[in-house]
């Protein structure tokens, strides 16, 4: 399949281009932190009980949480040291047990047993065992299926494996930082390993259109795998959402409201594949993560390699711009759909992709509505960057006051799933009824683009989310409409893990 790159795109969406503060391809490995906080829920699964007590000595790579009966993957200590505390932290929007480890500063770690420099020597069962024990099986939108109950479906149910590096967000990790040295070979080997675990799956590798050469070279390395297909996609947000990958790459309908795994699709990002390689070939558990430091708030946007569980503040120290005028806002993973980091002592877990810092810009701009807007991004073409190649600046300023909806239709024009956000919003204000299902409330994938473009500054996506919750409260979901269409697997289990009623 080498050399055949298929081009794809989808209707709707929004291209965030030319933002100042994109991370450079530099990569710095940070020294081992003095202290880490290990959340007992990382990646796909349910929270685990810590297997260690305060005061115990632990080593980097040692499993400190594992339960083969639960839908989960093991959690590791990521530094050598002593457990100082077992506590509970606010993590991914819920309270999760966490283990605090005070480190001794050494950077060694325990290799997994049973690894092999040549993965072809290993049986699929041995690979699954390594993936599980390394924690790599918790990566991806719904985990990598193994014999160990790590995903809602079994490895034999996987029809498609999608590996993506689309760069469609406002800020995205630079592919150049990920694919340094022998990482292309490692990525190719990791893909092969995954294919051995999921032999029925067709493999789809998806990258941004600017990375076609990288894609071709990876295709050359994977020439031995006949089921691999290569795709170059527009950097159109939210291309990286599983819903959009399934619809644009596989050209299949998505069971909105459910997960890709439910239709037998596993979605992984490129870094997850490298973790798979490291686990199987090097015997390295997922104790380190490559994090992009992006956005105008950083002195030098770039990439760092950090231990999982490192508190965010210790990564930021000395790297954030200092300004007397304005505070920096720190956001995890995505400016559009990520979470704001209010407590900087919280840790990064093994799924973190990037930290974004941008000015929390409450400075008032006189006559903002009448200015040419040298660095403003907009769906409209009324700002300078729409016509000239000037860099755009990200900031948290809302650029306007909230106003009643005037039905301008921008939300519908950018909506990637082709619903009419303002219609659901206006209807939900009046009543919560089954009409909302008809209007496609459950199709919303929460990409937040409608809230981004709204000139009336209405938080449309949040209102839709609330409407969905109210609908579920009254026992109304779209299962009657979509379930017959699909052969869905593991729905109840998925809902259990994601806490969906």
Partner 1 sequence: MRKLLESFVAGLNRLTAKGPLRRLRPVTEALDEAMLGTDKTARTAPFIADGMDVKRMMSLVILGLVPSAIAGIYFYGWYVAAMIATSYAVGGMTEVAFAMVRRKPIHEGFLVTGLIFPLILPPTTPLWVVAVGVFFGVFFGKEVFGGTGRNIFNPALVGRLFISLAFPSYFATMWGKMHWGGAGGFVHWTVDAITQATPLIDFKGSHMISTDPLSLLIGHAPGCVGETFRLGIILGGLFVVVMRAGDWRVPASYLGSVALSALILHGIMPDRVAPVWFQLLSGGLLFGAFFMANDPVTSPFTFTGRFIYGITLGILTVLIRALSGLPESVMFAILLMNAVAPLIDNAVINAAYRRATTRVRRLAA
Site stretch for partner 1 (CB under 8 A), options 5-13, 197-205, 275-283, 373-381: 373-381
Residue 118 CB neighbour total at 10 angstroms = 8
Helix (H) or strand (E) segment spanning residue 207: strand 202-208
422 near partner 1, judged by CB under 8 A = yes
Residues 440-469 interacting with partner 1 (rule: CB under 8 A): 448-449, 451-457, 459, 461-462
> Does the protein bind partner 1 through residue 379 (CB under 8 A)?
yes
Instruction: Closer to partner 1 by CB, 305 or 363: give it.
Output: 363
- CB–CB of 43/139 below 8 Å? yes
CA distances, 292 to each of 14, 124, 295 (Å): 22, 33, 10
Give me the phi and psi of 331, to 5 degrees please.
-130, 140
**Exposure of 310 by Cβ count < 10 A (0-12 exposed, 13-18 middle, 19+ buried)?**
buried
What span, in angstroms and rounded, lies between the C-alpha atoms of 215 and 204? 11
Q: Which is nearer to partner 1, 102 or 365 (CB)?
A: 365
Q: Is 401 in the site for partner 1 (CB under 8 A)?
A: yes
Q: Measure the CA–CA gap between 256 and 103, rounded to whole angstroms.
A: 44
Q: Is 251 in the site for partner 1 (CB under 8 A)?
A: no
Rounded-to-integer distance, Cα 73 and Cα 143, Å: 9
**152: closest CA among 264, 276, 48, 69?**
264
Residue 256 near residue 445 (C-beta atoms within 8 A)? yes
Give the shortest CB-213-to-partner 1 separation in angstroms.
Answer: 30
CB of 258 to partner 1, least distance (A): 15
Place of tokens 């473009």: 453
154 binds partner 1 (CB under 8 A): no
Q: CA 390 to CA 465: how far, in whole Å?
A: 35
Asked if 500 is part of the footprint of partner 1 (rule: CB under 8 A), the reply reads no
| Min CB(118)–partner 1 separation in Å | 44
Distance of closest approach, residue 400 Cβ to partner 1, in angstroms: 2
Examine residue 376 and tell whether it contacts partner 1 (CB under 8 A).
Answer: yes
Smallest separation (angstroms) from partner 1 to the CB of 229: 25
Of the candidates 128, 269, 278, 377, which one interacts with partner 1 according to CB under 8 A?
377
77 contacts 98 by C-beta, under 8 angstroms: no
Q: Are 410 and 454 in contact (CB under 8 A)?
A: yes
End-to-end alpha carbon distance in the chain: 43
Site string for partner 1, 402-421 (x = CB under 8 A): -xxxxxxxx-x-------x-
Q: Which is nearer to partner 1, 106 or 380 (CB)?
A: 380
Q: How far apart are CA 418 and CA 244, in angstroms?
A: 12
Stretch that binds partner 1, among 21-29, 109-117, 148-156, 390-398 (CB under 8 A): 390-398
Query: Cα dihedral sign for 464, 469, 474, 475?
Result: positive
Quick one: which of 109, 383, 425, 494 contacts partner 1 (CB under 8 A)?
A: 383
Question: Residue 250, interface with partner 1 (CB under 8 A)?
Answer: no
Name the minimum Å distance from CB 286 to partner 1.
26
The C-alpha atoms of residue 89 and residue 286 are separated, in whole angstroms, by: 21
**CB of 181 vs partner 1, minimal distance in Å:** 34
**Does the CA dihedral 317-323-329-331 come out positive or negative?**
negative
Of residues 311 through 370, those in contact with partner 1 by CB under 8 A are 329, 331, 334-340, 356, 358, 360-370
CB of 470 to partner 1, least distance (A): 19
CA distance 500 to 235: 31
Question: Nearest-CA neighbor of 303 among 206, 434, 395, 178?
Answer: 178
192 binding partner 1? (CB under 8 A): no
Take residue 182 and report the two structure tokens written for it.
């022998």
CA dihedral angle for residue 360, residue 364, residue 366, residue 368, rounded to 10 degrees: 40
Minimum Å distance from CB 170 to partner 1? 7
Nearer to partner 1, 339 or 344 (CB): 339
- Of the candidate residues 32, 163, 170, 320, the single one contacting partner 1 (CB under 8 A): 170
Nearer to partner 1 by C-beta: 117 or 370?
Answer: 370
- Using CB under 8 A, which of 482, 488, 491, 497 touches partner 1? 482
Residue 148 or 439: the one with the smaller Cβ distance to partner 1 is 439
Q: Which of 341, 271, 314 is nearest to 91 (CA)?
A: 341
Least Å distance between CB 176 and partner 1?
Answer: 25
Judged by CB under 8 A, how many residues of this single chain contact partner 1? 70
Residue (102 or 368) nearer to partner 1, CB: 368
Where on the chain is the footprint of partner 1 (CB under 8 A)?
A: 170, 329, 331, 334-340, 356, 358, 360-370, 373, 376-383, 394-401, 403-410, 412, 420, 422-423, 438-439, 448-449, 451-457, 459, 461-462, 481-482, 484-485
């Amino acid at each position: 399949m080498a050399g055949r790159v298929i081009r794809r795109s989808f209707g709707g969406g929004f291209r965030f281009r030319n933002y100042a503060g994109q991370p450079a391809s530099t990569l710095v490995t940070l020294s081992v932190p003095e202290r880490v906080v290990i959340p007992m829920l990382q990646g796909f699964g349910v929270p685990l009980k810590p297997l260690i007590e305060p005061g115990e000595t632990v080593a980097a790579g040692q499993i400190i949480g594992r339960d083969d009966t639960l839908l989960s993957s093991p959690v590791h200590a990521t530094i050598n040291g002593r457990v100082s505390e077992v506590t509970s932290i606010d993590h991914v929007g819920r309270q999760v047990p966490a283990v605090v480890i005070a480190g001794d500063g050494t950077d060694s770690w325990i290799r997994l047993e049973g690894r092999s420099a040549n993965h072809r020597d290993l049986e699929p069962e041995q690979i699954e065992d390594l993936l599980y024990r390394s924690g790599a099986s918790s990566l991806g939108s719904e985990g990598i299926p193994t014999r160990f109950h790590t995903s809602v479906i079994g490895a034999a149910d996987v029809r498609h494996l999608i590996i993506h590096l689309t760069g469609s967000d406002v800020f995205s990790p630079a592919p150049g930082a990920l694919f340094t040295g022998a990482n292309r070979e490692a990525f190719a080997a990791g893909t092969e390993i995954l294919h051995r675990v999921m032999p029925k799956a067709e493999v789809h590798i998806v990258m941004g259109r600017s990375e076609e050469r990288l894609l071709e070279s990876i295709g050359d390395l994977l020439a031995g795998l006949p089921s691999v297909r290569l795709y170059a996609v527009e950097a159109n947000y939210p291309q990286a959402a599983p819903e959009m990958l399934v619809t644009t790459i596989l050209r299949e309908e998505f069971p909105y409201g459910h997960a890709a795994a439910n239709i037998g699709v596993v979605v992984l990002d490129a870094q997850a594949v490298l973790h798979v390689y490291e686990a199987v070939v090097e015997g390295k558990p997922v104790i380190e993560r490559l994090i992009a430091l992006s956005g105008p708030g950083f002195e030098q946007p770039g990439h760092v390699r950090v231990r999982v569980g490192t508190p965010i503040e210790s990564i930021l120290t000395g790297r954030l711009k200092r300004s007397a005028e304005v505070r920096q806002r720190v956001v995890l993973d995505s400016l559009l759909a990520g979470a704001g980091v209010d407590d900087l002592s919280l840790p990064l877990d093994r799924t973190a992709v990037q930290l974004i810092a941008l000015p929390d810009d409450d400075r008032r701009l006189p006559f903002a509505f009448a200015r040419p807007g040298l660095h403003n991004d907009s769906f409209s073409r009324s700002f300078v960057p729409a016509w000239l190649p000037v860099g755009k600046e990200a900031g948290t300023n809302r650029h306007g006051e909230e106003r009643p909806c005037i039905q301008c239709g921008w939300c519908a024009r950018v909506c990637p799933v082709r619903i009419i956000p303002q219609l659901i919003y206006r209807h939900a204000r009046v009543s919560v009824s089954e009409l909302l299902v008809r209007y496609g409330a459950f199709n919303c994938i929460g990409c937040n683009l409608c809230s981004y473009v709204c000139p009336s500054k209405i938080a449309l996506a949040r209102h839709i989310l609330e409407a969905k919750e109210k609908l579920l409260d009254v026992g109304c979901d779209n299962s009657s409409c979509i379930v017959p269409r699909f052969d869905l697997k593991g729905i109840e289990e998925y809902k259990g893990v994601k806490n969906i009623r």
